[in-house]
């Protein structure tokens, strides 16, 4: 009988992409909170449970990854120099920022501390990633995929809690960075998708990340200006169009074998769900409320399915193992 992988070995292969789980759980928590305010759902304790679970998962993963950094620094260094994995490091700071948003209606003091930590960390991660992009030695066009949006998306998240907490100018700073880099990366990603080899099956779920920047950008812009104007509508409808494009490809996604990259489905669905509910709140048009409710139901199902598949994969030692190709 083949021996089970040792704990130390599994820790070495603990992937930075695990923090996408926290982004998905945070997104579901925020979406449920928004639905409660609009009376789309009427079970308030669910958001409290989701917030507790999300905070626990983040704390556990952060502790494990810091332990990996201490015990297997070389493995972390390799991830920092990997053209794909590099872009998942800002998921740590994005998780803090999303937890800040989720804690906002619960405890503003906690929300502020999480926001300050998340904002500081994300600035450092963004500077590191941009420097890596500018002075790389081995990046090639086939390395780019929608996961490269993650650092940019994080900048767009900052105003969601930053504006209510009173950090308006700082929020504009990060919003500006996120908007510019989203437009730059969008051009490069579509060039890669249209004129080069298709994405590997394992990375196909990251196409859903295309929804997140315009959806989060819409929500942050609304926080900053306080109204739904022409630019806000362009952002929202861009996100909605990308959602429709990807939904037409469901048969393609359904054939994929489970991988951690499946968590890329979750946060973008949460972002467009919350954006739709915000459109309903501000315009009063029922179509947006209906769309937000349907997307929330889909999101809850997806996160539940992903959680079960992830736990099953971890129990059967298919996570935290050496990559085979």
pLDDT of amino acid 8: 56
- Lowest mean pLDDT segment, chosen from 6-20, 105-119, 149-163: 6-20
Residues 97/156, Cβ–Cβ less than 8 Å: no
pLDDT of amino acid 325: 46
Residues 67/11, Cβ–Cβ less than 8 Å: yes
Domains belonging to the chain, first-starting first, are 7-315 (1.50.10.150)
Region 50-67 average pLDDT = 96
| Gap between the Cα atoms of 144 and 83, Å rounded | 8
Region 17-38 average pLDDT = 95
pLDDT digits (tens, 9 = 90+) for 212-227: 999 999 999 999 999 9
pLDDT digits (tens, 9 = 90+) for 80-113: 888 888 899 999 999 999 999 999 999 999 999 9
- Band (pLDDT 50/70/90 cuts) for residue 316 is confident
Give yes or no for residue 314 having a pLDDT over 50.
yes
Give yes or no for residue 5 having a pLDDT over 70.
no
pLDDT digits (tens, 9 = 90+) for 261-289: 999 999 999 999 999 999 999 999 999 99
Give yes or no for residue 3 having a pLDDT over 60.
no
- Band (pLDDT 50/70/90 cuts) for residue 4 is very low
Contacts 24+ apart (CB under 8 A), 136-145: 136/83, 138/83, 139/83, 140/83, 141/191, 141/192, 141/196, 142/192, 142/196, 142/197, 143/83, 143/84, 144/83, 144/185, 144/188, 144/189, 144/192, 145/84, 145/189, 145/192, 145/199, 145/203, 145/206
Select from 245, 249, 144 the least CA-distant residue to 196: 144
pLDDT digits (tens, 9 = 90+) for 179-216: 999 999 999 999 999 998 888 888 899 999 999 999 99
pLDDT digits (tens, 9 = 90+) for 290-300: 999 999 999 99
311 alpha carbon, distance to own chain's centre: 19
| Gap between the Cα atoms of 276 and 290, Å rounded | 9
Torsion angle in degrees (nearest 10) through CA of 95, 158, 221, 86: -60
Give yes or no for residue 11 having a pLDDT over 90.
no
**CA torsion through residues 80, 131, 220, 171, sign:** positive
Residues above pLDDT 90, as percent of the chain: 74
Q: Where are the alpha helices (H) located in 38-72, listed in sequence order?
A: 45-71
pLDDT of amino acid 91: 95
**CA torsion through residues 131, 120, 144, 59, sign:** positive
pLDDT of amino acid 324: 56
pLDDT of amino acid 317: 82
Residues above pLDDT 70, as percent of the chain: 96
Mean pLDDT of the chain: 92
- 197 torsion bin: left (phi>0), alpha (psi -120 to 50), beta (else): beta
pLDDT of amino acid 167: 98
């Amino acid at each position: 009988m083949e021996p089970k992988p040792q704990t130390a070995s599994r820790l070495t292969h603990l992937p930075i992409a695990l923090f996408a789980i926290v982004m998905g759980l945070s997104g579901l928590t925020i979406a449920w909170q928004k639905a409660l305010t609009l009376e789309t759902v009427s079970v308030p304790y669910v958001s409290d449970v989701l917030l507790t679970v999300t905070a626990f998962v983040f704390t556990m993963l952060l502790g494990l990854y810091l332990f990996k950094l201490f015990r297997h620094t070389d493995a972390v260094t390799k991830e920092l120099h990997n053209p794909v994995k590099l872009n998942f490091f800002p998921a740590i700071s994005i998780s803090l920022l999303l937890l800040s948003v989720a804690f906002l209606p619960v405890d503003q003091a906690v929300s502020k501390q999480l926001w300050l930590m998340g904002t500081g960390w994300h600035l450092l991660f963004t500077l590191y990633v941009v420097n890596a992009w500018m002075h790389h030695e081995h990046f090639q066009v086939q390395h780019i995929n929608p996961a490269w949006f993650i650092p940019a998306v994080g900048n767009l998240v900052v105003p969601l809690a930053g504006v209510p907490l009173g950090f308006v100018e700082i929020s504009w700073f990060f919003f500006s960075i996120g908007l510019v880099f989203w437009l730059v990366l969008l051009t490069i990603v579509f060039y890669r998708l249209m004129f080069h080899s298709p994405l590997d099956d394992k990375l196909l779920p990251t196409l859903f990340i295309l929804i997140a920047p315009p959806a989060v950008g819409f929500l942050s812009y609304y926080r900053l200006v306080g109204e739904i104007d022409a630019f806000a509508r362009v952002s929202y409808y861009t996100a909605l169009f990308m959602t429709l494009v990807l939904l037409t490809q469901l048969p393609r996604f359904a054939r994929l074998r489970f991988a951690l990259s499946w968590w890329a489905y979750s946060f973008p669905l949460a972002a467009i769900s919350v954006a739709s509910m915000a459109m309903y709140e501000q315009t009063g048009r029922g179509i947006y409320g209906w769309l937000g409710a349907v997307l929330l139901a889909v999101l809850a199902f997806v996160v539940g399915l992903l959680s079960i598949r992830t736990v099953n994969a971890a129990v059967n030692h298919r996570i935290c193992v050496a990559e085979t190709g």
